[in-house]
């Protein structure tokens, strides 16, 4: 009989002289995984609420979620979205890279995808550059408000779909909405490069 391991583990790790929270996800996560492990995860993370933590999410053995577990994960992420200053996601597939891209829309800190642990460690250990000019300080002070507005926009446009009905391109509504937002962001980035907003 073949046994398939799946679940989540969490701990506080140290590399050289910096500490971070490490979470490892293995296999295909189910709703029962979250029901059983959420109290343990919350207990670990609640102890870190007094400071901005850094997290390494090891998804190298991650095979995805069941649909209900994906919703559990989204709710869990929303509860702790302001806890982390940096989240490094390490994986080996485009699915993991999409996970990092999707998460970056909602987390108050930075979210980056890496294909190796060494690259993730190097990025997590790098000191953040603090804003110095008045414009930088103003935009950084409003960072959370801007991200909250983006999250609200996402939720207000998210439609409940019947996931039993196959879609032509196999994508869920949330994925399509992220693509729409990213397309607009790329358009804005092009406008910024063209200095369209210099005297806005």
* Confidence tier at 18 by pLDDT (50, 70, 90): low
Asked if the model's pLDDT at residue 21 lies above 70, the reply is yes
Q: Which tens digits make up the pLDDT trace of 70-115?
A: 556 656 666 766 777 888 888 866 555 555 554 554 466 788 888 8
Q: What is the pLDDT of residue 107?
A: 64
- Of residues 65 and 58, the one with the higher pLDDT is 58
Specify which of 39-43, 49-53, 76-80 reaches the highest per-range mean pLDDT: 39-43
Q: What is the mean pLDDT of residues 106-131?
A: 78
CA dist 46 and 59 (Å) reads 22
- Of residues 27 and 65, the one with the higher pLDDT is 27
Q: Which tens digits make up the pLDDT trace of 2-11?
A: 555 677 777 7
Q: What is the pLDDT of residue 157?
A: 76
Q: What is the pLDDT of residue 168?
A: 47
1-126, superfamily in CATH?
Answer: SpoIIaa-like domains (3.40.50.10600)
* Confidence tier at 49 by pLDDT (50, 70, 90): low
Alpha carbons within 13 angstroms on the beta-carbon side of residue 61 total 11
* Confidence tier at 171 by pLDDT (50, 70, 90): low
Q: What is the pLDDT of residue 1?
A: 46
Mean pLDDT, the chain, rounded, equals 72
Write down the domain spans for the chain: 1-126
Q: What is the pLDDT of residue 88?
A: 86
């Amino acid at each position: 009989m073949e046994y398939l391991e799946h679940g989540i583990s969490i701990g506080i790790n140290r590399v050289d002289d910096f500490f971070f929270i490490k979470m490892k996800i293995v296999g295909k996560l189910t709703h029962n995984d979250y029901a059983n492990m959420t109290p343990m995860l919350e207990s670990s993370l609640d102890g870190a609420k007094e400071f901005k933590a850094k997290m390494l999410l090891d998804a190298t053995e991650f095979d995805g979620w069941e649909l209900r577990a994906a919703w559990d994960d989204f709710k869990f992420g929303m509860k702790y979205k302001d806890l982390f200053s940096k989240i490094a996601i390490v994986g080996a597939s485009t699915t993991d890279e999409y996970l990092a891209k999707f998460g970056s829309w909602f987390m108050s800190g930075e979210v980056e995808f890496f294909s190796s642990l060494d690259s993730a460690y190097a990025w997590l250990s790098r000191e953040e550059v603090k804003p110095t000019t008045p414009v930088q300080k103003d935009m950084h002070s409003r960072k959370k408000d801007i991200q909250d507005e983006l999250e609200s926009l996402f939720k207000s446009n998210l439609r409940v779909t019947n996931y039993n009905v196959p879609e032509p391109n196999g994508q869920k509504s949330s994925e399509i909405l992220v693509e729409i937002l990213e397309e607009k962001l790329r358009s804005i980035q092009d406008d910024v490069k063209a200095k369209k907003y210099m005297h806005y």
